[in-house]
Amino acid sequence: MRIASVRSGLPETFDDVSAAAIDASGTTVFSTGELDRPFYYRSAIKGLQALTGLRQGLDLPAEHLALACASHGGTPTHVGIVREMLKNAGLDESDLRTTPGRPRSRAAGRALVARGDTTARPVLHNCSGKHAGWLATCVHAGWPTDTYLEPDHPLQISILDITEQYTGLEPTPTGIDGCGAPTMRGDVVGLARAFVAIDTVDELKPVKTAMARYGALVSDNRDDDGRVGAMWGGPQKVGAEGCFGMSRSGVAIATKSWSGNSRNAVMAALHVADRIGMLTEAMRSALEPQLAPPVIGAGRTVGTLEVAAW
């Protein structure tokens, strides 16, 4: 699929996006682009990463599990839940090995600055919920907490096994994500398989419920993926550098923008969903800014992003 940025009637830039839609039987419903070109799943795979805790018997409330799957906005609600997760595990912010960050939510960031708080902190990083969930898992399983990001830690070994099981691909060699954690590699078909599993496999049902029910916790609901989460009715998750997955009713759609544009990845997934009959008229209307994102000039809309070729 090729997405064009059309400004004042002229296609100005182009972005190639790979996409795959797969059903619960493993049948490819739709595909386009380079399906086996490797990339790092980044945060798009957080739903599978959270399964390690469930397998160890960790019992998290749905809201906490949603934060464990989140790239959150750093709002007071997000940060409060992360702190509660840590407290329930007998830990605090000092145990986080997340890269120090600031809120993804511009409103949350401005509110902190207005109070004179300009310090980057691990708890404000958008992955702090994932890290808090991992730390709670380590405490519950009796694993070390100070080395939980090391590739040979039992937590990370379990995540690799789960990722390979549900994507059908060898996820190594791993890279280092923006939060300092190992990140697994795969392709767009593997990501689609992961979201089929989140939608259909019994042991992943709590993850599906948490991600679908609490989309505003999984993302900043002002972002494109957060807006999709509010309307889609199933789990969805964006990953850095333009990868995205979503599923519902036993069908999963995964996309990868090769320019690394997450907005384009979300847009492409919605167009695939529409093409295979998964968007209602109400969804099309509510998600119009994501289906045809505006191109801005001097503060006004002067064009849109468009699907130039399938």
What is the pTM assigned to this prediction? 0.95
Residue 221's pLDDT is 74
The helix-helix angle for 76-88 and 128-141 (nearest 10°) equals 10
Q: Residue 210 sits in a domain of what CATH number? A: 3.40.710
Hey, is 3 helix, strand or coil? strand
Residues 104-119, mean pLDDT to the nearest whole number: 94
Give the total number of structural domains in the chain: 1
Q: Which domain holds residue 189?
A: 2-309
Question: 155-209, pLDDT tens digit by residue?
Answer: 999 999 999 999 999 999 999 999 999 999 999 999 999 999 999 999 999 999 9
Condensed to tens digits (0 to 9), the pLDDT of residues 54-103 reads 999 999 999 999 999 999 999 999 999 999 999 999 999 999 999 999 99
pLDDT at 220: 79
pLDDT of residue 195: 98
What whole-number percentage of the chain has pLDDT above 90?
96
Structure tokens, 93? 């912010």
